[in-house]
Chains A and B, each alone.
Chain A
Amino acid sequence: MMQSPSSNGVAAYLNDVHKIYQMGMQEVKALAGVSISFETGSFWAILGPSGSGKSTLLNLLGCLDRPTKGTYVLNGHDVSTLDDDDLSDMRLRHLGFIFQSFNLIPQSTVEENIQLPLYYQGWDPEESAERARVLARMVGLEDRLSHRPMELSGGQQQRVAIARALANDPAILLADEPTGNLDSHTTIEIMNLLRALNQQGKTIIMVTHERDIAEYAKHRLYMRDGLIETIES
């Protein structure tokens, strides 16, 4: 695997990344040459109008997709050309996801949801349960371990999702509109939690379209037509 130019202190590094979707005869340039470094321990907000390429960028960063062209180095590993199994492995070991709609498994308990990454890492069930308890305590849900997602409020569900995203101690926490489905009070709670995590050293990259949410981040990246328009640090 290729080492990034300055792998020390860089969680993710993109160089001239393109993503082109073929829509019949038409080519859609979702990303048209993006180059950027995300430092370890930074907190980024990605902003931009609808269709500017925010989700595409996040999917690439999340190893859910491969760039059509360009290089992506995640935590020191060049993942631009990995196959499906290796991409799955990168997600499992280096990434945590937080979604707008929480995306918890409805039939599983809070504890089982938090343990999911550990299940796929093949952890010992007891150690895994212990870690789930620690994480639940951290997001303030240690008394909800045996509940099902449906029995929790939106804010609580998003905390479970955050606990799950932290289970594998990821290099980057990726969040796509994490407060999009929450009321303003809960939004503040969740954003404070994310900020606290960042202060503890977690690298966070978050897509949002709300300016005041983006204010929680240390850096802001504006997208337009598949390109980085401006960066606010």
Chain B
Amino acid sequence: MLIQKYAREINLGVKNLLLHKLRSFLTMLGVVFGVGSVIAMLAVGEGASKEALDRIRKLGSQNILISSAKSIEEETQTNTRILMSIYGLLYEDERRIAESFPSVNRTVPVKEIRKQARLGERSMELRVVGTTPNWFELIQRPIISGRVLMQRDLDERGNVVVLTEHGVRKLLATKNTIGQTLRLGSEYFEVIGIVQSASVIGGDIQTPDQEIDAYIPVTVARERYGDIFMKRVAGSETREKVELHQIIVQVDSTQNVEMTAKGIEAMLKRFHKKTDYKISVPLTLLRQAEATKRTFNVVLGSIAGISLLVGGIGIMNIMLASVTERTREIGIRRAIGAKKKQIVLQFLIETVVLSTTGGLIGMGIGLLIPWMITLLAGMPTVVSAYSLVLSLGISMGVGILFGIYPAFRASNLDPIVALRHE
């Protein structure tokens, strides 16, 4: 081991550093804060990006999300005379996608309607999602009671609804709500099942499901509510005709995701005159987030590099002063028979001990700060082992890099001159 090989030199170095405790401490501060801030910043960055990556993963790296969106031309048109804007995904689109791409496992249509829900005395507005059994295969939430939608419901066009746990709670219902009648707008539905809600922690990037949802067969949604919606924007009412608000496509493997997304885009382009849809691929977002994280790490690395550079220069400065101050000592050691390389080693090890000690203290600070951030601000932080190993290695490296010049200066002193030094 290195430590054993240089035990005597390290011992000597520690003794010399302890001789000037305050000076040694102040000298290592640069490295302390350099290392401390590197670890802390990496931990915060790692925590934040882990959270973002987790959110994107929740959307499913095998999924492609296609949403209806007014084309840009229409969006910028100020012609208020348009009585109704017709845009978005079609029922046909879902069928075509499901049939055209062998890599597609399943497609999930989503028809979103906001409706007033009423159960007994209670009433609240919620999102009604017209979909198919595939929804429940894609977003697997535990069934709390009853059952989820089945193909039969779609075929028979039964007025059945599946609620989420939170929705049920808001409506002051219990498990016994199964079989009861829920009014959605002007229609009556039989509650057939309750599933667990999406977790709220999901934050701003949406998982397809929400805390409070009412799922009904898409065929029923179409028949009962139609495709035309009223939209109130800045006092004036506009009407919109949208068949499907979203189609979620699940691909058989992540390798095929991007290719399939391209294929779908080409297909939609062929069948839609306007670009009235938006395709988003979580996998691409994931890749972008990872790239952003890498950039972030490079920026952090540079900041860390600069602070360690400043710390290193501080150490070098003090070591040069120390060499001057100890010129006589160097002369004595040389006269007694110390070789140049032994003088180099002595000063180099002293610098490395200094910077490594600084690195260790900095490590403590670097562990403490993220811990406190998580504790006080609730922000997730991740201290990775590699950041600890890296900063300790770097602080030793700083010691060597900035210790070499003072050490060689010490060793190159002429012993005769050094002995005469006052």
Contact = CB atoms under 8 A, between A and B. Distances in A.
Interface in A137-183: 164, 168
Interface residues of A, number: 27
A64 B337 CA distance: 10
A103 B337 contact: no
16 contacts: A64-B335, A65-B416, A88-B339, A88-B340, A89-B337, A91-B337, A93-B337, A99-B419, A103-B331, A105-B333, A107-B15, A107-B16, A116-B336, A120-B333, A120-B337, A164-B336
Contacts of A91: 335-337
Interface residues of B, number: 21
B15 A119 contact: no
B340 A85 contact: yes
Nearest to B15: A107
B334 A88 contact: yes
B8 A119 contact: yes
B24 to A, nearest CB: 13
Interface string B12-25: 00011001000000
B337 A117 contact: yes
A127 interface: no
A210 interface: no
Contacts of B93: none
Contact of A92 (B15, B337, B341): B337
A64 B415 contact: yes
Interface string B304-335: 00000000000000000000000011011111
B145 interface: no
Given A103-B328, A105-B329, A107-B15, A120 B336 contact: yes
Given A88-B339, A103-B331, 16 more contacts: A84-B339, A84-B340, A85-B340, A85-B341, A88-B334, A91-B335, A92-B338, A99-B419, A103-B335, A103-B419, A105-B329, A105-B332, A116-B333, A119-B8, A120-B333, A121-B337
A120 B335 contact: no
Interface in A106-128: 106-107, 116-117, 119-121
Interface of A: 59, 62, 64-65, 84-85, 88-93, 95, 97, 99, 103-107, 116-117, 119-121, 164, 168
A67 to B, nearest CB: 14
A225 B331 CA distance: 27
Nearest to A86: B339
Nearest to A96: B336
Interface in B1-48: 8, 15-16, 19
Contacts of B341: 85
A90 B329 CA distance: 20
Contacts of B19: 107
A85 B339 contact: yes
Nearest to B337: A92
A107 B264 CA distance: 79
Nearest to B329: A105
B342 interface: yes
B340 A92 contact: no
B416 A103 contact: no
Q: Among the interface residues B16, B335, B337, B416, which one has the most CB atoms of the partner chain A within 10 A?
A: B337
A62 B335 CA distance: 8
A93 B337 CA distance: 8
A104 B334 CA distance: 13
Given A59-B416, A64-B416, A88-B337, A103 B342 contact: no
Contacts of B334: 88
Contacts of A59: 416
Contacts of A121: 337
Contacts of A88: 334, 337-340
Contacts of B332: 103-105, 116
Nearest to A125: B8
Nearest to B18: A107
A92 B336 contact: yes
A117 B336 contact: yes
A89 B337 CA distance: 6
A59 B335 CA distance: 10
Contacts of A92: 336-338
